[in-house]
Structure 1
Amino acid sequence: MRFVEEHTVRSAVADAFADHAAALQALLPEADVQHVGSTAVPGSFTKGDLDIAVRVTAEGFATADRVLAEAFERNTGSDQSPTFASFLNDDLPIPLGIQLCVVGGPEDFFLQQRAFFRAHPEENENYNTLKLQNFGKTMTEYREAKQSYFEVLMASPAYTAFRP
């Protein structure tokens, strides 16, 4: 794994988000499209990719999943469920990850995480430390460490009590 400081890709990621958000809104006009992930949190280390959360109603999920599957590659390295699907395009200048989730569903935590890291820079530094500890390791090793970190974080009193 390799990471860069968020500010070094901020402008390019903002431009990419504007373009992708417009395209996603055209495909799914009822969706809430949000920039999430490390490039949405100032001061983060990032892989330099763009993560977008596409939030839809439970009733609209199957249609949104089908529409996105026609336009993007499914991310087979990510869990899928009746309320969550992940898509990607790693061939773009700014690699793209799309996280489709049901509003209020079990996987609808991306906005909460973004707000928490923005409000708690010390916790963002802890996450940055984890990333730097995984510099040069495989994606699998990084994902395992990241999953463990988020399990602890999301169970912490500070996180569970946090309201954006």
Structure 2
Amino acid sequence: MLLRPADELLERAAAILADERARLAPLLPPHELALTGGSSVPGALTKGDVDLHLRVDPAHFATTVAAARRVYRVVLPDIWTGTLATFEVPGAALPTGVAVTPVGSEHDVRFRVCWRLLSTRADLLAEYNAMKRAAGADYEVRKSAFFDRLVAMS
């Protein structure tokens, strides 16, 4: 896997975020769309993709997912839960995914806590980058355990 420093993508990721905010504003009830993932943290290593986190009031989760289905492509439906839906943004300048979560849900907390810690703690970012460099078949398992530890720290 070819890794790149997130710093190379931050400007383009911010532009994608702005485009998606403009696209979603008239379609959804009140929501928050934020840049998340490796491309959101200066100094992080990334595959070159962009991750967006769409947070909505729990009462609006189902209608938000239905609206997202009309503008995005469904991806990874096998990981969907009652509080997580995942999509891909067609035609974005970089491969871009959108995770939809209700505010306060497990995945909402996980995304916010983990990426906040990685953006503020150089030691944790170094550990994340080392894990990313090592990759391997068990990468997703190790990443999940790492993120579990970060959530427990908060």
Q: How does the TM-score come out when normalised to structure 1?
A: 0.84
Counterpart Cα distance in 2 of 1:78 and 1:15? 30
TM-superposed CA distance for 1:117, in Å, is 1.1
How many residues end up aligned between the 2 structures? Answer: 153
TM-superposed CA distance for 1:75, in Å, is 1.5
Confirm whether residue 86 of structure 1 aligns to residue 86 of structure 2.
yes
Q: Aligned pair in 2 of structure 1 residues 147, 15: CA closer, same or farther (>3 Å)?
A: same
TM-superposed CA distance for 1:78, in Å, is 5.7
Instruction: Name the counterpart of 2:118.
Output: 117
Report the residue type matching 2:122 in the other structure.
Answer: P
Alignment of 1:25-44 (within 5 A): 25-44=25-44
Any idea what SS the aligned residue of 1:153 has?
Answer: helix
Q: Give the percent of matched residue pairs that are identical in Structure 1 and Structure 2.
A: 26
Calculate the aligned-residue CA RMSD, in Å: 1.9
Report the residue type matching 1:119 in the other structure.
Answer: T
TM-superposed CA distance for 1:40, in Å, is 1.2
Q: How does the TM-score come out when normalised to structure 2?
A: 0.89
Confirm whether residue 98 of structure 1 aligns to residue 98 of structure 2.
yes
> Which portions of structure 1, spanning 4 or more consecutive aligned residues, are displaced by more than 6 angstroms?
none
Counterpart Cα distance in 2 of 1:79 and 1:63? 19
Counterpart Cα distance in 2 of 1:40 and 1:82? 26
Any idea what SS the aligned residue of 2:101 has?
Answer: strand
5+ residue gaps in structure 2?
none
Counterpart Cα distance in 2 of 1:117 and 1:3? 17
Counterpart Cα distance in 2 of 1:83 and 1:29? 17
Counterpart Cα distance in 1 of 2:149 and 2:104? 21
Instruction: Name the counterpart of 1:148.
Output: 145
